[in-house]
Amino acid sequence: MATVNEKLTDLQVSHALHNLKAANGIDRDLQRILKNAEDDLVGLLGKRLAKIAVSGDTSKRRTERLTNLIAEVRGLYGKVYSQTGTELTAALKEIALNEGEWQADALRTAIPVNVTITTPAPAVLTQLATGSVVNGLSLATSIDALSAGTVMAVERAVNTGIIAGQSVDDIVRGVLNNGLDLPRKKLRQMTRTAVMQVANDAAHANYAANERILKGWQFVATLDLRTCAMCAAYDGQMFKIGEGPRPPLHPNSRSISIPVVKSYDELGIDRAEYSNKVRASMDGQIASPRNMESWLKGQSVARQEAILGKTKAKLWRDGKFRLSDFVRDDRTIISLDELRKLKPAAFAD
């Protein structure tokens, strides 16, 4: 019989995958906002650049036109990132509320005895979203930094094209293909990190609300080739509620925190009230650290396919790919078509 803390580990690891998928969904929505803005940017650049000499002229008039162009780009992306910030904040509030409820339900599911389990107040949870700090910066400051960085990237690409004597079409193409690539990646990184930050903060708010039945929390990292030494070093360690290095410790971190329930005796429950089997399941010990690879091997084929997809799950079970082979360094998923090109022998019947 699995112990209570082993059950919680399984529940939490599975739930972490849900949060990662939610983060990817939120990112797709936000990326669409940026994509839609590109049409406005293309029109703006085409109209303004047509009036700017690209022959190396350094006249005062050209400088003024460039300055005015960048001011318009700044206004465009100010509105774009304002919308992005609004939608991200709303999504993070939903993540926080759902996480608070889910964490309480997970405790109810795993603990086989009658104990009172508390869900943090909605106001406490939503405040975690509005007051969230990502990479050491508030969410609002991070959004402003992204907006400023996008404008700077556009300005740099435009100036590079003008200096090189490129045509208007080539300059616009350079802005879209090169100038905006980094801002897109930075938005993706910020979104995923913010989701994991708020989810972990909401989890810890739940731990604090239920401290009377918890002896601490356990740091659990996803151990693979992409795991940093810092997260790997903390993996499996237990800390008191309100203490310890709370994940995420860095951008794109996949580490999570798991509550550790007190033992049957530590909860002060009458030993005659429940069976020996129930008491044994509540030993108060932390679950043995397991990486995602070992965890997934213990899941049903149906769950493996739900997580990886039917074809990828079979390729993984057959030993033709590791889980880390399905993900790029920037945490984006590699499609089956790309995998087939990278390793065609794996798909040979």
The span from the CA of 154 to the CA of 73, in Å, is 8
Across the range 115-119, mean pLDDT stands at 94
Structural contact between residues 286 and 218, judged by C-beta atoms closer than 8 angstroms: yes
- Is residue 79 situated within a structural domain? yes
Tokens of 87: 């939608």
Which of 211, 233, 266 is the endpoint of a domain? Answer: 211
Q: Which of 103, 107, 51, 136 is nearest to 256 (CA)?
A: 103
79-112 confidence digits (pLDDT tens)? 999 999 999 999 999 999 999 999 999 999 999 8
Place of tokens 């909605």: 122
Q: Specify the range with the lowest mean pLDDT, choosing from 46-60, 133-147, 187-201.
A: 46-60
pLDDT of 19 higher than 80: yes
User: How many beta carbons lie within 10 A of that of residue 156, not counting itself?
Assistant: 14
| Reported confidence tier of residue 242, pLDDT bands at 50, 70, 90 | very high
Same domain membership, residue 318 and residue 175: no
149-204 confidence digits (pLDDT tens)? 999 999 999 999 988 888 999 999 999 988 898 899 999 999 999 999 999 999 99
How big is the chain by its Cα radius of gyration, in Å? 25
Same domain membership, residue 147 and residue 11: yes
The span from the CA of 40 to the CA of 76, in Å, is 8
Which of 165, 195, 211 is the endpoint of a domain? Answer: 211
Same domain membership, residue 305 and residue 172: no
- Is residue 217 situated within a structural domain? no
In degrees, to the nearest 5, what angle opens at C-alpha 263 toward C-alphas 259 and 269? 120
Which of 211, 229, 264 is the endpoint of a domain? Answer: 211
Write out the DSSP string of 270-293: -TTSS-HHHHHH---PPPPP--HH
- Is residue 287 situated within a structural domain? no
Tokens of 229: 């030494």
Give the helix, strand, coil percentages of the chain, each rounded to 5: 65, 5, 30
Same domain membership, residue 303 and residue 188: no
CA atoms within 13 A on the CB side of 305: 6
Same domain membership, residue 206 and residue 310: no
Tokens of 307: 């997580």
Across the range 223-229, mean pLDDT stands at 60
Residues 6 or more apart whose Cβ sits within 8 Å of residue 60: none
Place of tokens 């005015």: 68
| Reported confidence tier of residue 57, pLDDT bands at 50, 70, 90 | low
- Is residue 338 situated within a structural domain? yes
Structural contact between residues 97 and 126, judged by C-beta atoms closer than 8 angstroms: yes
- Is residue 225 situated within a structural domain? no
Same domain membership, residue 325 and residue 204: no
- Is residue 286 situated within a structural domain? no
pLDDT of 50 higher than 60: yes
User: How many beta carbons lie within 10 A of that of residue 75, not counting itself?
Assistant: 12
| Reported confidence tier of residue 333, pLDDT bands at 50, 70, 90 | confident
289-331 confidence digits (pLDDT tens)? 555 677 678 778 887 887 788 998 899 999 998 877 887 765 5
pLDDT of 56 higher than 60: no
**Residue 173 confidence (pLDDT):** 92
Place of tokens 């033992």: 263
- Is residue 268 situated within a structural domain? no
Q: Which of 1, 3, 33 is nearest to 285 (CA)?
A: 3
In degrees, to the nearest 5, what angle opens at C-alpha 132 toward C-alphas 127 and 136? 155
**Residue 3 confidence (pLDDT):** 87
119-133 confidence digits (pLDDT tens)? 999 999 999 988 877
Range of the domain at 311: 299-347
Across the range 211-240, mean pLDDT stands at 80
Same domain membership, residue 194 and residue 81: yes
**Residue 277 confidence (pLDDT):** 76
The predicted model scores a pTM of 0.78
Structural contact between residues 286 and 238, judged by C-beta atoms closer than 8 angstroms: yes
Same domain membership, residue 315 and residue 203: no
DSSP 299: S
| Reported confidence tier of residue 58, pLDDT bands at 50, 70, 90 | low
pLDDT of 236 higher than 90: no
**Residue 146 confidence (pLDDT):** 93
253-296 confidence digits (pLDDT tens)? 888 999 999 988 888 887 677 777 776 777 767 766 555 677 67
Q: How many domains are contained in the chain?
A: 2
**Residue 222 confidence (pLDDT):** 75
Same domain membership, residue 195 and residue 315: no
User: How many beta carbons lie within 10 A of that of residue 74, not counting itself?
Assistant: 16
Same domain membership, residue 329 and residue 206: no
Residues 6 or more apart whose Cβ sits within 8 Å of residue 346: 315, 320, 321, 339, 340
- Is residue 279 situated within a structural domain? no
Write out the DSSP string of 78-107: HHHHHHHHHHHHHHHHHHHHHHHHHHHHHH
